[in-house]
Structure 1
Amino acid sequence: MPPDPLLESADLDELDFLLVAALQRSPRADWVTIGAALGVDASTAARRWARLTGAGLAWLTCYPTALPGAHPIVAMIEIDCVRGRTHEVAAELADDPHLFTIEHVTGRRDLLVTAIFGDQAELARYVGFRLGALPGVAATRTDLATTLHAEGSRWRLERAGGREGGNTIPGPGTRASEAPPGRPGSGGLTAADLRLIKVLGEDVRQSAASLAAKTGLSQTTVRRRLARLEREGSIAYRCEVARSRSGWPVSVTFWATVPAHRVAEVTARLAGRRETRMCVSLSGAHNMLFTVWLRSIDAIPAFEASLAEHSPDLVVTDRAVALWILKFAGRLLDPLGRHLRAVPLTSWTPGAAAEAEGALLRRLAEGPPRP
């Protein structure tokens, strides 16, 4: 639902930032534990969180790190739109469940999309028969993410903002974000696992009893299954804050080239930088893409100068500033980055695209009509 208009002017104070940081470390810890770590009572912590979520300024989410498929892949799709139809296209794509992000950006593309597919054939079907059928789409360009070096569930507000996060909070939900990044789709999620993750995504902080009632599993099974998913890194948790209120309102995506023998060193250095939200190796002419959050537009040259100093092998070949991140980790956002509603991450059902592909295959199989 849209942010509460009575709270739209609300801002985050120091305790709010500490609360977000605590939930980033342990999203399912109880309010007593979180409150104690922040030096407030449980009701204060819970009330603060309700205020932030009601205003769309912060939210919790979770999603599977793998989706079913023969050879799951992550694709970065650049979309050029017909003049005046960019937002129409973005709105049309917003509920496609396998699209992780949709960004309206500056530069040589109108939209930048991150999507997950079961295999290359599914990607071809989506680009050719879903995007290709939209009248507002003028052209697309696609690269595959060959290696994931850093991703947003590992990003920490206190690390980026220089704030102390209070006492360490033990509890569930920390292992997934601490797991080393790997190739998407490397896990072995069952249909029951995916169902549990989807229900949990409706309210990450709901109890095991609530999850059991909604999934038909026992509370013991719910706890055991969640512990396994967290241990394996098959589920990722995020506690996000609206970028306009985060202190890091500028999101910039860079395309770059790095000599193959220096990729490991350069990506490790990039992944360790406080500004880095995501870093992947690509299949195309630019063999690396990374996204950073910065404090202002005029911080971009200084950031690039720092890259050149510390990673001289990395050559930035293009850049795009996000004007509006319409979809972010399966959540739809307004232009200020405030939460609107969730679109759970799951596999794409092709529908009309599959029918169009089937018609083309029949045409190819039959050949040209005989005279």
Structure 2
Amino acid sequence: MDALDLELVNALQMRPRAPWAEVAEPLGIDPATVSRRWARLSESGAAWVTCYPGNRQIPYGCVALVEVTCVAGSVLRVAEQVAAHPHALSVDVCSGSRDLFVTVATASVAALARYVGERLGTLPDVVRTETSLATRGYREASRWRLDSLDAAQRIALAGSRDSSDGRTRIPEEDWELLLALGVDGRMSLTELSERTGQAQSTVRRRLDRLLASDRAVLRCDFAHVLAGWQLPAVLWLTVPAPQLHATAQRLCALPEARACWATTGPANLCLYVWLHTPQHLEQVAEHLLQHFPGLQIRDTSAVLRVIKRTGRLLDADGRCVGQVPMDLWRDPVEGQDPWRATGPG
């Protein structure tokens, strides 16, 4: 990915559904060039826009971080099987004592128990699972930004944010719209209308309402390896309970921090970071211990391969090669035939 590619991705991180004319002007190119660039990035699987429930939906559903231990020699096979599950939003192959790190979302705690106990845990070659419930999401990856745009470009692209309250459940009539946006977050109103069977005016109204706050979030993502981010990592942290909220907020300000959750289990915080080199992980760990009093690093796992990220199946370079609809409301056990993965989003 060249410098202009990264600027375009950075712009769509800020404004995922912005018209090409509004993206083109700060980048100093014409809208047709922007459109062609995005088509090339999207068709090659180097970048995409997706949509999924935001962190404020955690109280109305369930998010869990599940570590999976596999029989030796079966890790990639198990990872591919898990990646076919709609409820396994992201699947990472990790270093350390656990082989897989799986981000799971379900409609309820009971559905989570069914998924882990009756589907994930019963896969051949799965030896053990360890589940940590995410009790609060402090940061999710749609907030993470490249640093490819200068200050003037960021100001030009900054949009107003609706102040409506997102702390309500996504209504059932919006589930189909959310699934369609998960396939392509820049899908036109015409196509959204065709997919959902709703009038364009209805789609526009529901889309505006859905994206008005953190009920659902749009995210421009990209092949991290092609952009120089070689090593994701998972850090399990423990901080004194009275310091949990303040510490988590400070962790979210770290440039490497992609996601941060408060969790149950031996660690009460989980931090997911993107790094340029293995040595970068040492620097982050040293920074945490020096600048966060009371914080302890209980465990660190380097991500050796990202198999799936928020519904997208990735190759070894992080390119999107398929997509599994994130139908979090379907039963996680009934009808276990996996979704047919589609091509790059």
> What TM-score, normalized to structure 1?
0.84
Check whether the contact 1:70–1:118 (CA below 8 A) recurs between aligned residues.
no
Q: 1:213 to 1:66 in 2, by over 3 A?
A: farther
Report the Cα offset of residue 56 of structure 1.
1.5
Aligned counterparts of 2:142 and 2:58: Cα–Cα separation in 1: 23
Q: State the match for 2:144 in structure 1.
A: 155
Aligned mate of 1:128, from 106, 117, 124: 117
Report the Cα offset of residue 164 of structure 1.
5.1
Aligned counterparts of 1:274 and 1:66: Cα–Cα separation in 2: 20
Check whether the contact 1:68–1:118 (CA below 8 A) recurs between aligned residues.
no
Aligned counterparts of 2:107 and 2:292: Cα–Cα separation in 1: 34
The secondary structure found in structure 2 opposite 1:157 is coil
Segments of 5+ residues of structure 2 without an aligned counterpart are 337-345
1:303 equivalent in alignment to 2:284: yes
Aligned length: 334
Report the Cα offset of residue 66 of structure 1.
7.5
Report the Cα offset of residue 187 of structure 1.
3.1
Q: State the match for 1:233 in structure 2.
A: 214
1:208 equivalent in alignment to 2:208: no
The secondary structure found in structure 1 opposite 2:212 is helix
Aligned mate of 2:40, from 51, 56, 62: 51
Q: State the match for 1:169 in structure 2.
A: 157
1:247 equivalent in alignment to 2:232: no
Query: Amino acid of the residue matched to residue 306 of structure 2?
Result: I
Deviations 1:54-105 (A, max 9, x none): 2221111112338999952111111100111111111111121111111000
The secondary structure found in structure 2 opposite 1:28 is coil
Report the Cα offset of residue 294 of structure 1.
1.2
Report the Cα offset of residue 261 of structure 1.
0.8
1:32 equivalent in alignment to 2:14: no
Aligned counterparts of 1:54 and 1:69: Cα–Cα separation in 2: 33
Segments of 5+ residues of structure 1 without an aligned counterpart are 1-11, 355-371
Q: State the match for 1:361 in structure 2.
A: none
Q: 1:343 to 1:319 in 2, by over 3 A?
A: same
Deviations 1:3-25 (A, max 9, x none): xxxxxxxxx11111110011111
Q: State the match for 1:263 in structure 2.
A: 244
Query: Amino acid of the residue matched to residue 87 of structure 2?
Result: H
Aligned counterparts of 2:4 and 2:272: Cα–Cα separation in 1: 27
Deviations 1:13-60 (A, max 9, x none): 111111001111111111111111211001110111112122221111
Deviations 1:210-236 (A, max 9, x none): 222322222221111111111132111
Aligned counterparts of 1:322 and 1:65: Cα–Cα separation in 2: 24
Query: Amino acid of the residue matched to residue 273 of structure 2?
Result: V
Query: Amino acid of the residue matched to residue 18 of structure 1?
Result: E
Q: 1:288 to 1:70 in 2, by over 3 A?
A: closer
Q: Percent identity?
A: 39
Aligned counterparts of 1:332 and 1:110: Cα–Cα separation in 2: 18
Q: 1:146 to 1:351 in 2, by over 3 A?
A: closer
Aligned counterparts of 1:312 and 1:67: Cα–Cα separation in 2: 28
1:341 equivalent in alignment to 2:322: yes
Aligned mate of 1:77, from 66, 71, 74: 66
Deviations 1:315-366 (A, max 9, x none): 1110001011101011110111111111121224244699xxxxxxxxxxxx
Q: State the match for 2:103 in structure 1.
A: 114
Check whether the contact 2:251–2:257 (CA below 8 A) recurs between aligned residues.
yes
The secondary structure found in structure 1 opposite 2:72 is coil
Check whether the contact 1:61–1:237 (CA below 8 A) recurs between aligned residues.
yes
Report the Cα offset of residue 238 of structure 1.
0.9
The secondary structure found in structure 2 opposite 1:313 is coil
The secondary structure found in structure 1 opposite 2:67 is strand
Check whether the contact 1:23–1:239 (CA below 8 A) recurs between aligned residues.
yes
> What TM-score, normalized to structure 2?
0.90
Aligned counterparts of 2:126 and 2:298: Cα–Cα separation in 1: 25
Report the Cα offset of residue 201 of structure 1.
2.6
